[in-house]
Structure 1
């Protein structure tokens, strides 16, 4: 029929094959011939049953996201599903790979669903700031029950084929030739005879819903939404499936979808979806990747152990190197403990734990790194120490091995220059805990070879990281901007705010926690050590550190922590210290509003991002957004600092920065030239924000 949809008759079973690589998205050029094919087959007496299947590596993995927010070209998905529900003969969706979003909604229009045992099924629209717009919130509860559907839709997390079978979403799971099994299944259903009931008419699972249990689950999920609109809309839509007639619930779902798709939050989340795919791309010709089969990690402390776990979780054999047997065993024991915790929580099976632990080999001899394809240094953040490590590596690593440093701030060019192979050296800045946090800054040094960069960018995906390629400067993209964001923190305190007031302004904005609570979590001694190395001071924070108040690990920092608790409590001693320091500096304290806190912390954040773009440290404004959402907790519903700048208004940001620059004289408030241009054009380097 078309290049994207073909129909074949297999002895009375019509096979409708969708072929729209790479993921069979339901673009208009797929929907149109698909609708025509199904309409013709509905009245085709030679077809006793219909199987919808997909070519390539997956079933329909969703809608075409590039069409969102644009005028809808008919037929849309809802019309195709409605057509499916008018077909009297059995219809079967044969699912392999993933059936996500619109793909699963298409399958929900069929009478039956069969799946390959490796298939995943889900409705992840919430991750784009949306809800399922093709009837998913109304049909899924009719198959799996309202509470199961609510959890799937609000989390957006796919489930396995076996779980889908248990839940009632899938009718059969096969191991083998899925298409052949799907045709056989359809033929058996046709032979058994009808009538075949559309999902829209199956109300039995809805009747089983316990209102009190549903309300409790909905309240818990709403609490976790943290200002995001889509989870709340998903809850409302699933509730409508229970309380309203089918067509009314379907119409309400559509109205909620249209409201979300036109809103800033969904625009922001869709921006991030595409930004993550762009961030790891290496500019220029795509080079051939180097083979990475074995990984070495130098340093078995918190960072080194976490990095080692990230690679083991990805299936890579890991050699973990330490300077002493005692330090090595301490590191390996911590890794075992972390995996044991995962088993106790049910997030990891005992079999998987044993398999991952079997990938580790401990060593205190650099010679054992000789057959590694990638070696990552994760030692103390000191240039002399790191250069010494790379000198040793240079002597033992095989030719072509990639040598990476996990530095957070230091000059990767200087580290690379300590070897005879600077083309093989780059930065891999993991975020703590490295086995959990998604972000990986890949730092491109002046002589880093393109194939080394491309190899590590691809490797990041294999270990579940979101990679962003950045250039060399102090702190790279994330930590350099963090310094700008935090430059006013102590001034805000000295001038009249309290740590809890600043933190509340941040959490109200949408951050998971504020800068002072985050400082206590990370450890105030880290920043103190970094300031001393650079000859900088912070009158309040330095005093807290001199008093041994390093945060949660010592029971006190900016806040006080009761024994064993992670909950911060305001500390009158800290507030008295702040007042005393302000008085000593002759600073008159005053009331500081939340708007001022945001202006003096987040506007400089955007401004530093503009400087980073000007200098070419980041290739795209969207790369900066990916760094800040995935590594620092910038609210996903605001799309990252550079996207948010467009929502906030570049002219306003420039005007307020100029105000604070005139008032304080501090360079952090001097608007970058690119920011001024953004205020006029609304774009960063041609990237529409």
Structure 2
């Protein structure tokens, strides 16, 4: 077993310590080497169990176990269903043999145990976890379109009860800390350090000869009962209804498969339950949605966070003092983000009073953390002490990064950036949070345009994980690399795009909301417009989004584009102008497409302005929203605004709400029925019926015949 991923050590008391330690990787995963090693290990345990008093299972890695082999799962096709089922059955069989050895087995969980890692831990009779806030336990599979297929559903519902397992672990993929895991009953003990962790696990196995899993003990009652229990049976119909409400009708199969597997697994014996779970798992693995989500939310995201779009600049930059210009909601949010990671912040506005209002907003965010027990008052005080509110540009002295977040006015941005440049450190990074104004034009207002980069945060900054970095004509690689490093320092994800009006996210987001307005003008009922988006997988409907950004902002952007020479105008623009002419500008005014007080409801006057009809089929309404974004993104690729498929996919999901189930906006094109050729044919149909804005650009036509993909197109461009 010299090439095993599991080390075997035994002591004089008959305790065997099994240490998960894949020599070929920095993390343990359920790859072929693990499956082989676990099989060999359990064979040996069965042979030698007469001389073994107990087993402690732990890990030599920073994490306990990282989970399934996603590289293998993403390649699974419907034709491989039998092979996938055989493999997952083998993994489950090994863990079942482990828990039925007849000798006590304890897991000493020294790091994160997510997915397959938690499944291994649950197959042990006793679980001790390191009491460290960095240690998380959970089943995040649902966020990748999957379910826990190694026994996670079967064991969690039996140990915790159906309701607790579904709501606290399975349906939303929560990751819980050790104290919460202890409270749930997911683990039995916590330990302060590794030595105590192993000592507690070892002590338990020595004191519990012949241990069994609770559900293998005759007469065991599942907490809360089984589906045949009258009290639980009465509440079961609410689960699918609540799930549909939670998903807003979006076609995500994984949550429904999890619910079905959980309920069905409690109606049969445990071994049959593993079979039920395995079949649902395979259905998801070989489906397109899990492929899309794994590609985007694992591989694409990890590539970006690992520096995939960062210039090859060796030195890693770490910001130490940051100036934020503008203390409105966005500026205050940016100040909060930097202070959160320990960076000193100077929050500047036209006067100290305005700056203090921004600091007060940060204080409100921090206060919520204190009230929820996530931060002590001392930590909160130290947090706020890192932010200095000022109206004096001289206080920017010593700043190595400046982020401008003032109103979208070129002259104003020129003035504040120039002023900051004069006071900050020589060579300081000069960043603009603009969402639409070209960076090249903004850089013309400073002495060092090579140090200017767009750094577009999304609102609310404390919740949105994405930052769009925009490269101006004179932005240096060194400046872009520093900006990339700053975003990663904040714990956020950077995408890189080239300079243009609206860049990528604002430009493509505009097509979504404008298409929603156009649907309204063509007779689609307001709530049908919203449902078309929600049931396609968008987090909110386009009319809601328009109200939230205010109706005047898209009109202002359109007017500025027209002044810059743009000649095309979207049919949705006329809809916005009509609504604004009626004095309805959006949520902040309490009146837009919706009346927002006392509660949100459609403005009755909309149906008078735009009478409803059935001229647009519901499927067309849904696909128009998706295709509007996809076609515009393809134009961004063609114009080289985008140079990376990962930037496009992650930017669309994390920045502008493109449905994750499609794997991002370019993955949507590649995975459409018939591939790029099928997408092109459908786009032409939509263009013939609804307008030339849906006509596919040349880059799509080139990839349609012969068959190709946008992912391959961008990869070839990058390598060329």
Return the TM-score normalized by structure 1.
0.90
In structure 2, what is the Cα distance between the partners aligned to 1:527 and 1:122? 41
Q: How many correspondences in the alignment?
A: 675
Q: Which one of 82, 85, 106 corresponds to residue 96 of structure 2?
A: 82
Q: CA deviation at 1:123?
A: 1.0
1:553-572 alignment to 2 at 5 Å? Answer: 553-561=588-596, 563-565=597-599, 567-572=600-605
User: Compared with structure 1, are the counterparts of its residues 140 and 602 closer, same or farther at alpha carbon in structure 2 (3 Å cutoff)?
Assistant: closer
The answer on whether the counterparts of 1:428 and 1:442 sit within 8 Å (CA) in structure 2 is: yes
SS at match of 1:440: strand
**Aligned match of 2:511:** 484
Deviation at residue 65 of structure 1 after TM alignment: 0.8
- The equivalent residue for 1:191 is 206
Cα shift at 1:128: 0.9
- 1:662-677 to structure 2, matched below 5 A, reads 666=692, 668-677=693-702
The 2-side partners of 1:90 and 1:219 are apart by: 41
The partner residue of 2:580 within 545, 550, 565 is 545
Alignment deviations for residues 640-677 of structure 1 (CA, whole Å, 9 cap, x no partner): 222222224433432343345456774x2332111112
Match of 2:18? 16
Give the match's secondary structure for 1:542.
helix
Distance 1:206 1:660, change over 3 A: closer
Deviation per residue, 1:235-284 (Å, 9 max, x gap)? 22222343322122221111111111112221221121211122352255
Match of residue 582 from structure 1: none
Instruction: Pick from 62, 65, 75 the counterpart of residue 67 of structure 2.
Output: 62
Pairwise CA distance, 1:9: 2.6
Structural mapping, 1:405-484, within 5 Å: 405-484=432-511
What are the Cα deviations for residues 331-383 of structure 1, in whole angstroms up to 9, with x where unaligned? 22233334445555677665654443333221112222222232211001111
Q: Determine whether 1:48 maps to 2:53.
A: yes
Work out which of the residue numbers 149, 158, 180 in structure 2 matches 1:142: 158
Task: Verify the 8 A CA contact 1:426 1:444 in the aligned structure 2.
Answer: yes
CA distance change for structure 1 residues 238 and 350 in 2, over 3 Å: closer, same or farther? Answer: farther
User: 1:430, CA displacement in angstroms?
Assistant: 1.0
Give the C-alpha shift of residue 289 in structure 1: 0.8
Structure 1 residue 47, shift from structure 2 partner: 4.1
Q: In structure 1, how many angstroms separate the alpha carbons of the residues matched to 2:686 and 2:160?
A: 56
Cα drift, residue 174 of structure 1: 1.0
Separation (CA, whole Å) in 2 of partners of 1:590 and 1:173: 61
Does the residue aligned with 1:306 lie in a helix, a strand or coil? helix
Once residues 560 and 638 of structure 2 are traced to their aligned partners in structure 1, the CA distance between those partners, rounded to angstroms, is 27
Alpha carbons of structure 1 residues 571 and 350: separation in structure 2 relative to 1, 3 Å: farther
Cα distance in 2 between the residues matched to 1:661 and 1:421: 45
Partner SS for 2:196: helix
1:182 CA displacement: 4.2
1:575 to 607, 617, 621: 607
Counterpart for residue 242 of structure 1:
266
Contact 2:402–2:430 under 8 Å retained in 1: yes
Distance 1:528 1:682, change over 3 A: same
**Superposition deviation, residue 571 in structure 1:** 2.2
Q: Secondary structure at the match of 2:58?
A: strand
The 8 Å contact of residues 548 and 554 in structure 1, kept in 2 or not, is answered as: no
Secondary structure of the structure 2 residue equivalent to 1:467: strand
Q: Is the 8 A contact 1:105 1:135 kept in 2?
A: yes
Is 1:108 matched up with 2:134? no
Are the equivalent residues in 1 in contact too, given 2:322–2:400 (CA < 8 A)? yes
Counterpart of 2:177 in structure 1 is 160
1:354-393 correspondence to structure 2 within 5 Å:
354-393=381-420
Structure 1 residues 14-413: aligned runs within 5 Å? 14-20=16-22, 21-44=25-48, 47-68=52-73, 69-70=75-76, 71-72=83-84, 76-118=90-132, 119-151=135-167, 152-176=169-193, 178=194, 180-198=195-213, 200-201=215-216, 204=220, 206-209=222-225, 211=232, 212=234, 216=238, 219-226=241-248, 227=250, 228-273=252-297, 274-280=299-305, 281-282=308-309, 285=312, 287-341=314-368, 353-413=380-440
Find the residue that maps to 1:642 and give its secondary structure.
helix
The answer to whether the Cα contact below 8 Å between 2:158 and 2:223 also exists between their aligned partners in 1 is: no
TM-score (norm 2): 0.87
Secondary structure class of the residue paired with 1:512: coil
SS of 2:302's equivalent? Answer: helix
Distance 1:670 1:604 in 2: 10
Query: Structure 1: which 5+ residue stretches go unaligned?
Result: 580-587
CA displacement 1:60-103 (0-9 Å, x = unmatched): 02111111154448584213212212323222221122001001
Q: Which moved more, 1:262-271 or 1:503-512?
A: 503-512
Three-state SS of the structure 2 residue aligned to 1:671 is: coil
- Deviates further, 348-357 or 668-677: 348-357
- Please provide the CA RMSD for this pair: 2.9
Secondary structure in 1 matching 2:529: helix
CA contact (8 A) 1:511 1:635 kept: yes
Report SS of the residue matched to 2:602: coil
- In the alignment, the residues of structure 2 paired with residue 224 and residue 625 of structure 1 have an alpha-carbon distance, to the nearest angstrom, of 24
| Contact 1:53–1:95 under 8 Å retained in 2 | yes
Provide closer, same or farther for how the CA distance between residues 78 and 505 of structure 1 changes in structure 2, counting only shifts above 3 A: same
